Amino acid sequence: MDGYQRRRHMAEPHAFPHEKEKAKLQSSASSLEKKLKEALAEMKFLNQAIELDLKLKEEALAEMKSLNQNLIAKERKSNDELQEVCKKLMDKEEDLKKMESTIQSLIEKECASNDELQEVREELIDGLGKFDSSDFIRIKRMGDLDLKPFYSAAKRKYYDPETEGKAAELCSIWEYYIKDTSWHPFKIVMDKEGNQVKIIDEDDEKLKGLKDEYGDKLYEAVTTALTEKNEYSPGCGYLISELWNYEEGRKASLQEVVSYILKHWKKPKQKRNRRSVRELRKKGN
């Protein structure tokens, strides 16, 4: 064994503990390095996650800000539109008030005109009622019965000597019924427009008996009188007079009545004028 080997052999027992410590330190350093790398990687991931979260929050905040701005703009627009609508409503309300005032004024004028026209009709009814006329324009008592259908019905049912008396008796009975306010042979129905209208109740016992015994014409005469009475003087025991166009079977207009009066007023005047002319000619001769 040479000197070098002896020195090495002598030194190895003393150097071995240092090698173990070194290896242990290297292992610890390697482990710490690995953990550091892992920690750095984890920190990097966390930083990326934080950055992504911040980015998402910034985008969400920007979106919320944009949405808020849009909502504010819409709200302003809505407020402007609402104010415009309110202004239009106020204008419409003002127009409506003016229209209501105009309508009320027209209604008052119409009522006044109707009152005047009604007064004219009453004067004409009173005037024409004093003359016994057989012309097509004359006075009709609304709800009054015509004796002719009663006479025809009595003639079919009774002997000739009894006809006139039975017709007058039957007519008188039904005139009493028509004026009787406790008898109401009507019913309420709905028309096509959904309005309530009052019509003859065909199931009324008195009317059914009249139709069965005397026929349709007498039934129609009585129901027509009932309808007129109900229209002109419902709930009253008397009949109302009306200017009537007998040629067309309807209420006469004021123009028709005035034309009729003027026409008949001119005839006597023309006759008087002709008589005056003849008298002058005689004197001249």
How far apart, in whole angstroms, are the C-alpha atoms of residue 214 and residue 152?
10
What confidence tens digit (pLDDT) does each residue in 116-163 have? 777 777 878 787 776 666 678 888 888 889 889 999 888 888 877 888
Let me know: does 239 contact 231? Beta carbons within 8 Å: no
Show the tokens assigned to 117: 């026209």
pLDDT value at position 205? 94
- The confidence score (pLDDT) of residue 105 equals 79
Q: How many CB atoms lie within 10 A of CB 149?
A: 22
**Whether the predicted pLDDT of 278 surpasses 60:** no
pLDDT of residue 267: 60
Residue 245's contacts (CB-CB under 8 Å, 6 or more residues apart) are: 136, 137, 251, 252, 256
The token duo for 155 is 């003639």
Nearest one of 161, 166, 179, 182 to 218, comparing CA atoms: 166
- What are the CA-CA distances from residue 240 to residues 142, 211, 216 (Å)? 6, 26, 26
pLDDT band at 175 (very low <50, low <70, confident <90, very high): very high
Region for 144 from its dihedrals, namely left if φ exceeds 0, alpha if ψ lies in -120 to 50, beta otherwise? beta
Backbone φ and ψ of 243, nearest 5°: -70, 125
Which of helix, strand or coil describes residue 202?
coil
276 pLDDT more than 50: no
Q: What is the pLDDT of residue 202?
A: 92
Angle (nearest 5°) at CA 213 between 211 and 214: 70
Mention every residue, 6+ apart, whose C-beta is less than 8 A from residue 181.
235, 236, 237
pLDDT of residue 277: 42
Q: Specify whether the CB–CB gap between 117 and 147 falls below 8 A.
A: no
Helix, strand and coil in the chain, % to nearest 5: 75, 10, 15
pLDDT given at position 85: 83
φ/ψ of residue 240, rounded to 5: -95, 140
Confidence band of 256 (pLDDT split at 50, 70, 90)? confident
Q: Could you report the per-residue pLDDT of 7-51, keeping only the tens digit for each?
A: 555 555 554 567 777 777 777 777 777 877 877 787 788 778 788
